[in-house]
Amino acid sequence: MMHRVCLLGATGSIGASTLAVLREQPERFQLSAVTANSNVVQMQAICQEFQPAVAVMVDEAAAKQLQQALQGGPTEVLSGAQAVAEVAADSNSDTVMAAIVGGAGLVPTFAAVEAGKRVLLANKEALVMSGQLFIDAAAASGAQILPVDSEHNAIFQCLPAAVQQQLGHCDLVGAGVDKILLTGSGGPFRQLPLTELEQQTPAAACAHPNWDMGEKISVDSATMMNKGLEYIEARWLFNCNADQLQVVLHPQSVIHSMVSYTDGSVLAQMGQPDMRTPIAHCLSFPERSVSGVKPLDFLSLGELSFAAADSARYPCLELAMQACWQGQWATTTLNAANEIAVAAFLAGQIKFTEIARICAVALDRVAQQKQTAELNSVAAILSVDEQARAYATEQIKQVEQC
């Protein structure tokens, strides 16, 4: 069967890896729609190569430029955030790769879920922000969620087929699962003296030892907020409780996560740290297909090591693990505050260690304002998200005035 793929976030790191996999298998996948924020040059090249029916730029001026550049071609150019959500739900595609970064991905990813698509989920923030609502929407529409995030993809691969078919509602105990072991490298600052964390620059934070990724997720990996968001993501995808979920540091990123069973068996998924593998897995599921990634060479791998994550080094991970069990308001707040803090860090406005502090303050403020009621609509989620962003922005202004 030929799949028609809508790629949200086409100009990003996951976007590029997805296009690389599609390039390997033109007979199996057709790129039907692409979206991006504002990168016209890259979008033009993508459209000229893949000839999708629709391309959306969120930025209006960028859309105009793209339209001029593609004049006479087969691609219709649209603009605005609303158009992104519309193409995500459009019947022209059966598969949607959700690879927008951050909270901006919530509405379009949700639209794809509500439209009952096969949703390849890279945009973890959408699930962190909406949790139960997201899972319920997928159950109601019949959307199939396939986890692209390498850890969740690894866990998914290590689970039995019956569990794979019930993502979000699965019974881990019934399947004989004892624990899900979420691995993380610890990022570029794993061995730095704690006193030196404060002076780390955006360039140093983005220099991940194993993975080549977008800026925001790279900073999240340095703080381990990324692992925290993934912890929350895993809780929803695999329907687990606190006893069934554990974070393990594994600096080499060879094992991408594991599932431990009650009989003592532990299944691990391994491979190169290259997102083309989980992307190809999701695109072709339940079959296998080529990704362009070379297999591991075990004879040249060297040692694999494991450790616990240190809470003094990674306060963001602690915050996320607590927020996970506090309620939807907490994870929505944390995600929003983190996004604002990371952007400020990347812009040179705050120090690396301020990110965790700003997130903690936003969580406290939202809790104090009693904005902790059930969030049972996207509108309610976006309202808490907006409030948390305002609290974080206030904090950044205060830091700048000091």
Name the residue with tokens 């072991």.
181
Q: Following DSSP, what letter does each residue of 146-159 receive, concatenated? A: EE-SHHHHHHHHHS
Those residues whose C-beta lies under 8 Å from the C-beta of residue 254, and which sit 6 or more positions away, are: 270, 271, 273, 296, 301, 304
Q: Which is nearer to ligand NAD, 225 or 361 (CB)?
A: 225
Give the strands of the sheet with 245-249, arranged side by side: 245-249, 177-184, 255-261, 266-270
Question: Which residues in 126-165 contact Mg ion (CB under 5 A)?
Answer: 149-151
**In angstroms, what is the minimal distance from the CB of 367 to ligand NAD?**
26
Q: Which is nearer to ligand NAD, 149 or 365 (CB)?
A: 149
Q: Which two tokens stand for residue 295?
A: 């297999």
- By a kind-dependent CB cut-off of 5 to 8 A, residue 97 interacts, out of Mg ion, ligand NAD, none, with none
Check binding of 152 to ligand NAD (CB under 6 A).
no
Q: Which is nearer to ligand NAD, 34 or 350 (CB)?
A: 34
Q: Which is nearer to ligand NAD, 37 or 269 (CB)?
A: 37
Check binding of 274 to ligand NAD (CB under 6 A).
no
**In angstroms, what is the minimal distance from the CB of 58 to ligand NAD?**
4
**In angstroms, what is the minimal distance from the CB of 37 to ligand NAD?**
3
Report, in angstroms and rounded to the nearest whole number, the Rg of the chain calculated over CA atoms: 20
CB-neighbour burial class of residue 267 (10 A; exposed 0-12, middle 13-18, buried 19+): middle
**In angstroms, what is the minimal distance from the CB of 100 to ligand NAD?**
4
**Which position among 5, 12, 255, 341 is part of the footprint of ligand NAD (CB under 6 A)?**
12
Check binding of 338 to ligand NAD (CB under 6 A).
no
Q: Which two tokens stand for residue 401?
A: 């005035």
Those residues whose C-beta lies under 8 Å from the C-beta of residue 243, and which sit 6 or more positions away, are: 179
Asked whether residue 37 is marked as a ligand-binding residue, the answer is no
**In angstroms, what is the minimal distance from the CB of 327 to ligand NAD?**
22
CA distance 248 to 125: 21
CA distance 320 to 122: 18
Check binding of 182 to ligand NAD (CB under 6 A).
no
CA distance 360 to 373: 19
Binding site for Mg ion (CB under 5 A): 149-151
Residues making contact with ligand NAD (CB under 6 A) = 9-15, 36-37, 39, 58, 84, 99-101, 104, 122-125, 149, 211, 213-214, 216-217, 275
